[in-house]
């Protein structure tokens, strides 16, 4: 099962409040600092980590926080085709999964980077980017790679099993879905253990339970997956 963002289906919107920080508390504190109080980081921030470490959730959470403030931001990811020009109204530039960018997206990212840090009007904008590798290992054009490695760099840690269980319990409770310890153990032992995949599976279970009006059991989980 592939990793998906955590705001699919009936899942809650990604926010900094519903991100289970665990060993990544310092990262969440850093993001809170620059998304509240009207101040912006004077240097870029780069988050990196393996799949399921929560990079996209955090980037979407920052986007959501700015949106609630009525602020505009630039958003770029590997699925963005024909990206717009830099907008002077943006308060920040958010770039997700930069390790997957094609040449056009790398060109746009560099252009946005330069305009954000040396804007035509106003103060410099915050650049927040995520990737699957540390900056020095990114297979990107040199001028973009060096800029991504210039400011604050945080390596996200993947949650261990007790922390994954806590996240699944928190998300299931938020949906009003009863998830027994037995079913949770089955999910963790039989399927991809990265958090994004587990959230996708939880989303399927939630919808299946709603459709069938049945409590979640291991046979029901197995039957649902066989019918996928």
- Displacement of CA 158 from its chain's centroid (Å): 13
Residue 22 reports pLDDT greater than 90: no
C-alpha span between 18 and 103 (Å, rounded): 34
Q: Provide the whole-model pTM.
A: 0.77
Give me the residue label for tokens 């998830």. Answer: 179
Q: Dump pLDDT digits (tens) for 48-91.
A: 998 878 899 999 999 999 999 999 999 999 999 999 999 999 99
Q: What mean pLDDT value characterizes the chain? A: 86
C-beta of residue 199 within 8 angstroms of C-beta of residue 4:
yes
| Structure confidence at residue 1 (pLDDT) | 31
How many CA atoms does the CB half-sphere of 135 hold within 13 Å?
Answer: 18
C-alpha span between 110 and 184 (Å, rounded): 43
């Amino acid at each position: 099962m592939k990793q998906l963002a955590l705001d699919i289906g009936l899942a809650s919107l990604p926010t900094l409040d519903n991100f289970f920080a665990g060993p990544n508390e310092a990262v969440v504190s850093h993001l809170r600092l620059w998304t509240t109080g009207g101040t912006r980081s004077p240097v870029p921030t780069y988050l990196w980590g393996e799949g399921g470490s929560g990079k996209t959730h955090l980037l979407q959470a920052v986007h959501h926080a700015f949106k609630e403030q009525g602020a505009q931001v630039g958003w770029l990811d590997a699925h963005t085709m024909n990206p717009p020009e830099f907008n002077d109204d943006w308060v920040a530039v958010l770039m997700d999964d930069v390790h997957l960018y094609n040449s056009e997206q790398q060109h746009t990212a560099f252009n946005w980077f330069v305009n954000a840090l040396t804007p035509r009007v106003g103060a410099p904008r915050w650049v927040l980017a995520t990737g699957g590798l540390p900056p020095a290992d990114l297979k990107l054009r040199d001028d973009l790679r060096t800029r991504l490695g210039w400011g604050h760099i945080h390596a996200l840690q993947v949650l261990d099993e007790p922390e994954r269980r806590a996240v699944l319990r928190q998300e299931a409770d938020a949906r009003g879905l009863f998830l027994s310890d037995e079913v949770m153990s089955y999910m963790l032992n039989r399927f991809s253990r990265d958090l994004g995949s587990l959230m996708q599976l939880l989303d399927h279970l939630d919808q299946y339970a709603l459709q069938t009006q049945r409590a979640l059991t291991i046979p029901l989980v197995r039957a649902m997956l066989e019918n996928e």
